[in-house]
Structure 1
């Protein structure tokens, strides 16, 4: 049974038919009773696919919201599921917003404003607590640019300054723009990649997105919207609750409403306290203008079709939809308990599904169960589900691998901007004039800053490097791969030669000769080792698989690769010669434990060397 057939099973259930009717009739209060674990995600996705209305799903906190978001992204088309986070790094920190979160919030507002097809928006109290700019203000502060439009660069420059964008040499984060000749680079708050707009005179010739790290184009687009930082609390725009911004046709799913209201009131009290401690000489907006309290939230929620999740008893003044699900049982990593439970379910007519985070985990289950002589009734699916559950009406048992093994289950938030934090251009901007840098062709020089130079009558940005006897080299920003920060002995001042000198060439040649000699010696050693035969370990056993599955954290891709390579070496008849390197806290010990366990189950001893200090 596939994910879609599981959804279909829910879509055909009597409870979904009842819920669909209540939503179509716009009942203000619907109580969804008896939903456990990720049954919430299956029900939400099934009913969303059955109705042509936008959904807002409000969970208790960011972590739960992120997990449910990941479930829904796999059950619904990913482009139709959006995450609406709070804009602060911590629950309440007005002065320090997180640009990655601001991008996600702006994307949601932009999607609602563009009136595209309905979407599921997943959020939590911290995000609803903050008011947003009105639709009218957002439309007024949105700059739309289409290919072939006639616009002057001076006009765009002026508009971007009005939007509080910062003009820089190279854009590296949202809210920045740069102008180079007839090219405008701008990083809007509504997209996780910046735009490069090329002009032919005053005509927009092409629009492309580009990677800030490589400066290479990624996609060509015909129209864009440039949105400023809509979460800037120092702006004077009129603000309103997020519930006033969304369509009145939206169906709102609320989990544990009382907890949500109390959390919002807690934030509001903190906001009032902080406001009272602010500098009275500077005019600040009142908390009521920037934030929402629970009374306002309750008043606005009353105007929507609302479904309350989490109740296990009938709610007064509500239309009740009763489900019969229970949480996944706890097995305490004991496979005999798991096998007994799966077979007992099968005897009662239940279908057993184990949802795994990866193909590796699926294979582990198959191998572990194959070692047992009993016939185990189950099916596996590669689908990292948040929480397992048993649906007694549909006779369905959905278990998760991470709960069986008591492993930590990670959520994943789309964050294209954050992955580009440590970039070449940003590092370059951090260099101070006078810092030593190395150019692969010309050797060590001093960084002289970013300069604008004339190249065939056009102004271009270049990096200025200073060499011996006052020689200067200008390097194009497209040749950044040839430059690196100088790394030498601490405190030692490197020798700087003049440009064109044979000294750097000789030094490179000398280094190459030394490297060749070392390589030759190593080849001789390895050739000799290749002829020797070592102990060949057996493939992974049941015990090895059970040990590896019991680690509480999921392996990173690098850990998986390192473990796989080590095992390949150990299962070969050639002596192993491998060194695993990694920074502190990057998971070397977990790889070492896996490697050490293999000799132990093959009847060998394993010496463990530890540092003298910990």
Structure 2
């Protein structure tokens, strides 16, 4: 890999991909390849894989280059089977951080694949080659496979999983977790796309299935084998702990570190606590680490861009030296560089001895050559983007070239990342009479000369090879770069049931009859001959209510509009009844207002826009990201509204960065193309500036004039803009409430877009009402709205909710670490080096300037600014505007950034004293970064002393684990949504939400709206069943109380026997055969379903008789019931209080149940 003076490539052998693949067996130990552009190198490697009997190790300069090469190779090879990625840890040497679990598991899977001979190719960056790895023998011992029929001690298996780095959790949703429930083990190893469910019979593995982590239901019935690998490189077996203890003592002695520090570290390691930076002690965990070369064995090496690879190795060597020097100065524990890393010169020498192919991006050769050089004449597709530009002929020019290539018998493959973009491209090409064959995702199609195909896949770039008449073209090369696609797992649907699963002891709940209480968990009680689970509720004055789980339907988790703690109600008091009556009256007033506005809009006539045309489709295709499902639905809703002659009044809800602005941009494009003008109204000058940049960028290829009025424009500029707007020369005008002043005249205003309407004052809102009657209005809000409220308002307020994060967003790497000057400096500089910006959140106004001064001293290279809520409005606006524009790049601020600016360049957030924030606050703060295709980082700083409460530690652990966007944040996002509901409904309604709780409020609203729309009100029945049965799920069957609680709630909410049968399937799938008391509970719930239908409020057995109480609204016909009583004389009696008694005599529990069911089915025939 030595680099001599470059000269022109005189002796290169011309080659094609096919020729070179044929020559592989006769190649020497070293050759060089030139002229491979775009993804041609990956296409060539894909052709080499079947021709080689040894694996390829493909070395790229850095993580991004390696990741792209891996994806390109997987595409060209027709899938990633046998192709592995071996990333670097992603942190600097000796930083007080631990690598992310996803990186460690990816590394371990690759090493195991090499060890087991499964790998055809492994792609890795230069840094990953330098770091030493877990010894081969150790990894071989710790990898094992479970198969049906195997005998495996369960207790031994569970302790082994803990040693391999797995965490025990009640619910398995994330990789590296497991849960044991009775005879069922759920676990999520690194080797499967979905978690696995292992059924045991004693210690024998009975069967293995895979399940969906979102629904927890089985997706494959049988799996022949389950390979289990460690999830961490630091494996804490007894043997390793002995080695660790001995080597730790020696290293601390060598460095002169005190004994208490050593003992503290050892205690944490023994407890399995992965404190920040403990991964860098990896060399202490084993007698001797191996290198990647030890795993690679006789592999053939492919080195992409050798000069840059050498440069990266040298850079990383310097970082290792710097890291160890820093630790030495600070008297901190660190391991020696030789033990942990391979020296760069040693790697270079080793590679020179390996059989290798070097891919040179630049065409030069060394003066004297002793190895063959092959030259390819591939062409990059950089010229195609110009062809699709409107000014250069648009799609027509590209279509012309495709037609010409097809006539010349070229094989042409077009590649799109997603179905939506593929369909658009097919539509656009069909307009030019070109009809590519469409091949869904998977193996790239076998195309023949003269054919044009389109497939789905992840490909960084295409290429053309004239000698082979082959063209591969990506969507980016036609429409311009788009965000890179990453598919995240779907998060579980957030509903009120899942919020119930998050109930903790001490939380507030609402009982529909008795009001607000404090929940104290599930109690298992035995009374007489029966036992069961009860909800323990505490009311004012210490009153207690033990509610049987079959009546749990009456209870909901309390969440108020602002999340404030409510007052407990008194059992038997009338305060609760009054609160419900007041809320009902307020809800009626709100419903009346909504119905009035709705009726008025139905009468008004507006402008009906033309349907989308090819120009609109082309504009859609230039959107630089992949639309989410919710976003596409919102766009369709808006276009449908605009095509109607009724004025549009739609609200789009969705978090900042979830794509609301693009919905507005599409609507604006539609309006302007039909000759109308658009006004965009925003609450702040900063947002106005942001929208101006976004709109101008999106419309840059179209003759659309976008301008802005704001206080940052001079009076002369404003005058000119207003004059051009009046003449119709400005198509889209953006501004703050200045837009509502009388001197602003439009020639033909057709659409008003309002961003964050709730932030405008009452006076401005009145003016906006005037617009709503005449033109189309589209309102955007970053405040999340609960789906339950959305459903209650269906048909009254046109709402579109964007709940799904953009598909190309990368998960935010979240680190919990102690406050450390060097770490903060490095985190900020890492972001600034890539042209990004940093938020530093310090939530104490009185010390924020002192913190800013500390950061100025630490990072003099940064352009620092300070922002907090106590600054004058104009001053704060100026600071934020400078940050948005990139004039400052480190913003030291309070939680003011929660409030919704979209700054895609800001991809690092550092939160000081993260232990003082709630989970929902941290979730919202973290969401301020990661808005572009760049990897985002969140550093949650805790005090250097590490003094953090157990509760705060748990919050931080949860947050660190949840790298997937939105994953598992059911309760945090639920609380945020409730606040959003308060903002949407207004302050007056929020008070009533606080008084009765959100779920009760939405029920009242839905009920009232239905009544006003003329629907009959259905009386809700809460049947009481007293049959003396033991009906519950034993703790042994469902150990986690929250999961038990959630399943009780699900059962109570079932409205048909079909739903109950589905739940039986779910229980059997997740927990195994349902025990007797659980089946009794299912049967009781079936009785409840029948009683609700028959409107029977009570079924009770007193030892001799079964009694039923009928509600006045029962559908059972009295004359038919009388007929039954007379028909079976002596069996039935009616009491003065209208209860029906059925003589049964003494019955066993099962008989009581069956008799009650038989009688209810008989009553059903009397309806």
TM above 0.5 = yes
Aligned mates of 2:502, 2:316 — CA distance in 1: 36
Kindly report the root-mean-square deviation, in angstroms, between the aligned alpha carbons of the 2 structures: 4.7
Q: How do 1:435-446 residues align onto structure 2 when only pairs under 5 Å count?
A: 435-436=507-508, 445-446=517-518
Aligned mates of 1:424, 1:257 — CA distance in 2: 56
Corresponding position of 2:674: 602
CA gap 1:428/1:512 in 2 versus in 1, 3 angstroms = closer
Q: Structure 1 residue 292 and structure 2 residue 342: aligned?
A: yes
Aligned mates of 2:620, 2:25 — CA distance in 1: 49
Residues 528-585 of structure 1 show CA distances to partners (whole Å, capped at 9, x for unaligned) of 7557654332222344334333333333333223222222332344543422111122
Question: Do the aligned partners of 1:439 and 1:445 also contact (CA within 8 Å) in 2?
Answer: yes
Aligned mates of 2:571, 2:108 — CA distance in 1: 50
Q: Structure 1 residue 221 and structure 2 residue 294: aligned?
A: no
CA gap 1:157/1:367 in 2 versus in 1, 3 angstroms = closer
Question: Do the aligned partners of 2:536 and 2:545 also contact (CA within 8 Å) in 1?
Answer: yes
Aligned mates of 2:427, 2:163 — CA distance in 1: 63
Aligned mates of 1:223, 1:55 — CA distance in 2: 27
Corresponding position of 1:381: 454
Q: Structure 1 residue 310 and structure 2 residue 360: aligned?
A: yes
Aligned mates of 1:110, 1:557 — CA distance in 2: 37
Aligned mates of 2:151, 2:497 — CA distance in 1: 31
Aligned mates of 1:441, 1:403 — CA distance in 2: 63
CA gap 1:342/1:68 in 2 versus in 1, 3 angstroms = farther
Corresponding position of 1:251: 300
Aligned mates of 2:556, 2:92 — CA distance in 1: 35
CA gap 1:403/1:518 in 2 versus in 1, 3 angstroms = same
CA shift at 1:598, angstroms?
Answer: 0.8
Corresponding position of 1:78: 80
CA gap 1:273/1:419 in 2 versus in 1, 3 angstroms = farther
CA gap 1:578/1:189 in 2 versus in 1, 3 angstroms = same
Corresponding position of 1:159: 160
Q: How do 1:115-264 residues align onto structure 2 when only pairs under 5 Å count?
A: 115-116=117-118, 118-171=119-172, 173-191=174-192, 193-219=194-220, 220-232=222-234, 233=279, 234-235=281-282, 236-237=285-286, 238-248=288-298, 250-264=299-313
Question: Do the aligned partners of 1:213 and 1:425 also contact (CA within 8 Å) in 2?
Answer: no
CA shift at 1:600, angstroms?
Answer: 1.2
Corresponding position of 2:34: 33
Q: Decide which of 265, 268, 271 is 2:314's aligned counterpart.
A: 265
Higher helix share: 2
Residues 254-283 of structure 1 show CA distances to partners (whole Å, capped at 9, x for unaligned) of 211221222123223322332344379886
Deviates more, 1:68-77 or 1:588-597: 68-77
CA shift at 1:138, angstroms?
Answer: 0.5
Question: Do the aligned partners of 1:54 and 1:120 also contact (CA within 8 Å) in 2?
Answer: yes
Corresponding position of 2:389: 334
Question: Do the aligned partners of 1:141 and 1:227 also contact (CA within 8 Å) in 2?
Answer: yes
Question: In structure 2, the residue corresponding to 1:393 is in which secondary structure?
Answer: helix
Aligned mates of 2:553, 2:138 — CA distance in 1: 43
Number of equivalences: 590
Question: Do the aligned partners of 2:417 and 2:485 also contact (CA within 8 Å) in 1?
Answer: no
Q: Structure 1 residue 587 and structure 2 residue 647: aligned?
A: no
Aligned mates of 1:37, 1:225 — CA distance in 2: 36
Aligned mates of 1:579, 1:379 — CA distance in 2: 43
CA shift at 1:231, angstroms?
Answer: 2.6
Q: Structure 1 residue 560 and structure 2 residue 615: aligned?
A: no
CA shift at 1:149, angstroms?
Answer: 2.8
Aligned mates of 2:534, 2:107 — CA distance in 1: 36
CA shift at 1:133, angstroms?
Answer: 1.6
Aligned mates of 2:130, 2:492 — CA distance in 1: 29
Aligned mates of 2:677, 2:341 — CA distance in 1: 63
Q: Structure 1 residue 278 and structure 2 residue 352: aligned?
A: no
Unpaired segments ≥5 residues, structure 2: 1-13, 235-278, 437-449, 527-532, 687-1167
Corresponding position of 1:391: 465
Residues 160-200 of structure 1 show CA distances to partners (whole Å, capped at 9, x for unaligned) of 44445444555554554444444444444544544444433
CA shift at 1:594, angstroms?
Answer: 0.9
Corresponding position of 1:23: 24
CA gap 1:277/1:525 in 2 versus in 1, 3 angstroms = closer
So what's the TM-score if we normalise by structure 1? 0.79
Aligned mates of 2:382, 2:355 — CA distance in 1: 34
Question: In structure 1, the residue corresponding to 2:632 is in which secondary structure?
Answer: helix
Question: In structure 2, the residue corresponding to 1:36 is in which secondary structure?
Answer: coil
Question: In structure 1, the residue corresponding to 2:315 is in which secondary structure?
Answer: helix
Residues 446-497 of structure 1 show CA distances to partners (whole Å, capped at 9, x for unaligned) of 4657x89799xxxxxx998643246477999xx9999986431436422445
Deviates more, 1:284-293 or 1:33-42: 284-293
Aligned mates of 1:421, 1:243 — CA distance in 2: 45
Aligned mates of 1:32, 1:447 — CA distance in 2: 70
Aligned mates of 1:570, 1:186 — CA distance in 2: 50
Question: In structure 2, the residue corresponding to 1:321 is in which secondary structure?
Answer: strand
Question: Do the aligned partners of 1:497 and 1:503 also contact (CA within 8 Å) in 2?
Answer: yes
Aligned mates of 2:685, 2:552 — CA distance in 1: 41
Corresponding position of 1:321: 374
CA gap 1:446/1:51 in 2 versus in 1, 3 angstroms = farther
Q: How do 1:41-80 residues align onto structure 2 when only pairs under 5 Å count?
A: 41-75=42-76, 76-80=78-82
Question: Do the aligned partners of 1:243 and 1:301 also contact (CA within 8 Å) in 2?
Answer: no
Aligned mates of 1:463, 1:318 — CA distance in 2: 80
Q: Decide which of 467, 470, 486 is 2:538's aligned counterpart.
A: 467
CA gap 1:313/1:261 in 2 versus in 1, 3 angstroms = closer
Question: Do the aligned partners of 2:378 and 2:465 also contact (CA within 8 Å) in 1?
Answer: yes
Corresponding position of 1:109: 111
Question: Do the aligned partners of 1:388 and 1:398 also contact (CA within 8 Å) in 2?
Answer: yes
CA shift at 1:80, angstroms?
Answer: 3.3
Question: Do the aligned partners of 2:94 and 2:334 also contact (CA within 8 Å) in 1?
Answer: no
Deviates more, 1:501-510 or 1:396-405: 501-510
Question: Do the aligned partners of 1:402 and 1:409 also contact (CA within 8 Å) in 2?
Answer: no
Aligned mates of 1:406, 1:60 — CA distance in 2: 25
Q: How do 1:530-549 residues align onto structure 2 when only pairs under 5 Å count?
A: 534-549=606-621
CA shift at 1:34, angstroms?
Answer: 0.5
Residues 301-321 of structure 1 show CA distances to partners (whole Å, capped at 9, x for unaligned) of 345432212342446333222
Question: Do the aligned partners of 1:71 and 1:386 also contact (CA within 8 Å) in 2?
Answer: yes
Question: In structure 1, the residue corresponding to 2:32 is in which secondary structure?
Answer: strand
CA gap 1:428/1:143 in 2 versus in 1, 3 angstroms = farther
Deviates more, 1:528-537 or 1:125-134: 528-537
Question: Do the aligned partners of 2:136 and 2:290 also contact (CA within 8 Å) in 1?
Answer: no
Aligned mates of 2:556, 2:133 — CA distance in 1: 43
Greater relative contact order, per chain length (Cα 8 Å cut-off, separation 6+)? 1
Corresponding position of 1:9: none
Question: Do the aligned partners of 1:103 and 1:192 also contact (CA within 8 Å) in 2?
Answer: no
Question: In structure 2, the residue corresponding to 1:326 is in which secondary structure?
Answer: coil
Aligned mates of 1:158, 1:361 — CA distance in 2: 48
Question: In structure 1, the residue corresponding to 2:464 is in which secondary structure?
Answer: strand
CA shift at 1:212, angstroms?
Answer: 4.7
Aligned mates of 2:207, 2:339 — CA distance in 1: 41
